[in-house]
Amino acid sequence: MPRLQRDGEVVHVAFDSSKNMLVAGILRPGEETPTIERVFNDEPSIRRFVRAFPEPGKLRTCYEAGPCGYELQRLVVSLGVGCQVIAPALIPVAPGDRVKTDKRDARRLVRQFRAGELVAIRVPSRQDEAVRDLCRARGDAVEDLTRAKNRLGHFLLRHGRVWRGASTWTFKYRNWLGDQSFDHAALTTSFARYRATVECREAELEALEADLARYVDWGPFASPVRRLSAYRGVDRLGALVLQAEICDWRRFANDGAAGAFCGLEYERSQLIESAWAYHRGPSLGVALRRRQEGVSPETQARAWASQVELCRRFNQLDKRKPVRGVVVAAIARRLVGHLHAEMVA
């Protein structure tokens, strides 16, 4: 266990966390070489570790954000100890320093922590995290459905069944699927299984979206969702996904910081989907007008100005760029800037 510190001294601790073990790098005042302690990653062991310090309030701790989430931070804070979750991508790394071990990482992290070189991320509340996880479950369901549809399409293509219509998964396309038949029983079974998987994934996605719908007008999400969904391409569920992931838009110093954060998986997928809405000229359709009901005139004005700019920008880029995906990504990035400006106005 760690040595006791004298009253009034601040001790810095950095954890290198994993599923079963915490490797704690400990720096006491006046020391330059951290000591290392291993702590089993469960609540009783962490409580014993903290109790070994006579003044937990003078203890400062941190760990890198990772797959173990925020439960360690919440437990440590409940014990009266300050704890920050560090953004891994913003941790300074010396050129050529590629050796990574638990002890080495803990020593490096605690030195940087005491020197003030680390950037902490915002820890979401439990209710924010719960809704965010449900949004991510929907995102996973969308990916699963896309894969299931692609597998069915690849199966049909391998056997010369080519849909010549304009778009897939329309009413006509589904009728066309129902007309397909195969001579061999094994092919008939394979086709039926692929179709059943698609239908199962569609039902799963529909159920998840119904579960999410109750949070659109719920507590802390209601007002941000109304404002975000006033923008073209951002429906209520899309707005909920963005708000659940970002939580506090004011934590970004500028549009660039917001755009960099939204390059992550879940936000990026939603923004790319929203950006496609700008490939036609500005307009106020029935659905968008309905979403803007009850929204302030200032938000409506900003949403219209955003739509005019993004539609014009989409058209300009589309003439210069041979790949539509590049255009959509650029529009999505700019859309983040407009949404950030809206939420900090």
Q: What is the pLDDT of residues 201-248, one digit of tens each?
A: 999 999 999 999 999 999 899 999 999 999 999 999 999 999 998 888
The H or E element containing residue 38 is strand 35-40
Q: For position 2, what pLDDT does the model report?
A: 42
Q: What is the DSSP string of 290-317?
A: HHTTT--HHHHHHHHHHHHHHHHHHHHH
Q: Is the pLDDT of residue 7 over 50?
A: no
Alpha carbon distance 339, 225 (integer Å)? 11
Higher pLDDT, 75 or 99: 75
Q: For position 83, what pLDDT does the model report?
A: 95
Exposure letters 186-218 (e unless 16+ CB within 10 A, then b): eeeeebeebbebbeebeebbeebeeebeebbee
Q: For position 96, what pLDDT does the model report?
A: 67
Q: Is the pLDDT of residue 311 over 90?
A: yes
DSSP state of 233: T
Q: For position 264, what pLDDT does the model report?
A: 63
Q: What is the pLDDT of residues 149-195, one digit of tens each?
A: 999 999 999 999 999 998 999 999 999 999 999 999 999 999 999 99
Q: Is the pLDDT of residue 1 over 50?
A: no
Q: Which fold has domain 11-114?
A: Nucleotidyltransferase; domain 5 (3.30.420)
Share above pLDDT 90 across residues of the chain, in percent, rounded to a whole number: 76
Residues 6+ apart with CB under 8 A from 169: 149
Distances (CA, A) of 315 to 242, 278, 280, 281, 320: 25, 9, 8, 9, 9
Q: Is the pLDDT of residue 3 over 70?
A: no
Structure tokens at 220: 């802390």
Confidence of residue 118 (pLDDT cuts 50, 70, 90): very high
Q: What share of the chain is helix, strand, coil (3-state, %, to 5)?
A: 60, 10, 30
Confidence of residue 257 (pLDDT cuts 50, 70, 90): confident
Q: For position 196, what pLDDT does the model report?
A: 98
Q: What is the pLDDT of residues 49-79, one digit of tens each?
A: 999 998 888 899 999 998 999 999 999 999 9
Q: Is the pLDDT of residue 266 over 80?
A: no
pTM of this prediction? 0.84
Share above pLDDT 70 across residues of the chain, in percent, rounded to a whole number: 96
Higher pLDDT, 292 or 90: 292
Q: What is the pLDDT of residues 138-161, one digit of tens each?
A: 999 999 999 999 999 999 999 999
Q: Is the pLDDT of residue 19 over 70?
A: yes
Query: Per-domain residue ranges for the chain?
Result: 11-114, 126-213, 243-344
Weakest mean pLDDT among 243-247, 258-262, 329-333: 258-262
